[in-house]
């Protein structure tokens, strides 16, 4: 199997299935939050789950040309902070697991507001800093910023007229896999008590991260292959325990 990077979810093969199904479920849940009309899919990657937004027309954007390929829809190579669309081009915007991949989210949010029609809605899905990796530092070398519920709400409220943050929760069988991976991460970090890992260049950390990710997921953990979109749901409660956060952001009519 080719090396799969931690930058994008791209396969449900073997031990990657839980992450793939989590991502797929997030698109499906986004669909329940959107009205009709044209949708901009920011940081779309391979576009593996955009059909969950059907029957809406979707347009995919990613900074990496190689992942766009033939998705059976309109796609554009672009930075999320400089979108190649006129103002008021879309009825909705979704950004699933992408806002954490930019070091400065403010230009991205400003662009989303620019391309949205009023009234319009954007949904930003991102890991919960309190439950992803380590709350004390960003471990994923592809992430620049990670947010807790209050931070995400405060960021989005600067650009939108109304913001609601929802929690993504998961079944016990998914959480058993999730918690096992977090225990392994803590054991790994304990081997570096001086946090010398922070001195390693980002590109080197990304290569090491990808190698370990692929090695760890060659053999699926117990129950990994049974995980599906039905293992995930949204709730306005227990935000601090959420595995991911949904910021549902609205622009009022002009």
Looking at residue 167, which CATH number applies to its domain? 3.40.50.150
Instruction: Quick: pLDDT tens for 126-171.
Output: 999 999 988 889 999 999 999 999 999 999 999 999 999 999 999 9
Tell me what pLDDT residue 117 has: 97
Instruction: Quick: pLDDT tens for 13-57.
Output: 889 999 999 999 999 999 999 999 999 999 999 999 999 999 999
Domain contains 8:
no
Beta carbons within 10 angstroms of residue 45's beta carbon: 22
Instruction: State how far the Cα of 165 lies from the Cα of 122, in Å rounded to an integer.
Output: 12
The bridge status of strand 58-62 relative to strand 116-127 is unpaired
Domain contains 1:
no
Tell me what pLDDT residue 136 has: 86
Give the confidence band of 3 by pLDDT, cuts at 50, 70, 90.
Answer: low
The parent domain of residue 68 ranges over: 14-251
Beta carbons within 10 angstroms of residue 184's beta carbon: 12
Domain contains 2:
no
What is the pTM assigned to this prediction? 0.95
Please state the domain count of the chain.
1
pLDDT at 85 over 70: yes
Domain contains 31:
yes
Reported as type and span, the H/E element at residue 176 is helix 172-190
Domain contains 9:
no
The arithmetic mean of pLDDT across residues 224-239, rounded, is 97
User: Under DSSP, is residue 102 helix (H, G, I), strand (E, B) or coil?
Assistant: coil
Q: What is the dihedral of CA 45, 9, 54, 25, to 10 degrees?
A: -150
């Amino acid at each position: 199997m080719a090396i799969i990077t931690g930058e994008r979810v791209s396969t449900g093969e073997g031990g990657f299935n839980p992450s793939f199904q989590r991502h797929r479920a997030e698109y499906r849940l986004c669909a329940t939050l959107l009205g009709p009309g044209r949708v901009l899919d920011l940081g779309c990657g391979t576009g593996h789950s955009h059909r969950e937004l059907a029957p809406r027309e979707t347009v995919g954007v990613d900074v990496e040309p190689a992942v766009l390929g033939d998705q059976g829809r309109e796609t554009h190579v672009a930075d999320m902070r400089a979108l190649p669309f006129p103002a008021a081009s879309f009825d909705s915007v979704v950004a699933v697991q992408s806002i954490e991949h930019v070091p400065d989210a403010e230009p991205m949010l400003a662009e989303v507001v620019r391309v949205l029609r009023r009234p319009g809605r954007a949904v930003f899905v991102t890991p919960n800093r309190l439950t992803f990796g380590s709350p004390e530092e960003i471990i994923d070398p592809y992430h620049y910023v990670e947010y807790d519920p209050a931070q995400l709400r405060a960021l989005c409220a600067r650009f939108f007229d109304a913001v609601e943050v929802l929690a993504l929760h998961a079944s016990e069988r998914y959480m058993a896999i999730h918690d096992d991976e977090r225990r392994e991460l803590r054991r790994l970090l304990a081997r570096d008590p001086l946090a010398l890992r922070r001195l390693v260049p980002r590109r080197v950390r990304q290569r090491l991260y990808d190698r370990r990710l692929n090695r760890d997921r060659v053999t699926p953990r117990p129950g990994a292959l049974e995980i599906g979109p039905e293992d995930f749901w949204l709730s306005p409660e227990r935000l601090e325990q959420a595995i991911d956060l949904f910021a549902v952001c609205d622009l009022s009519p002009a």
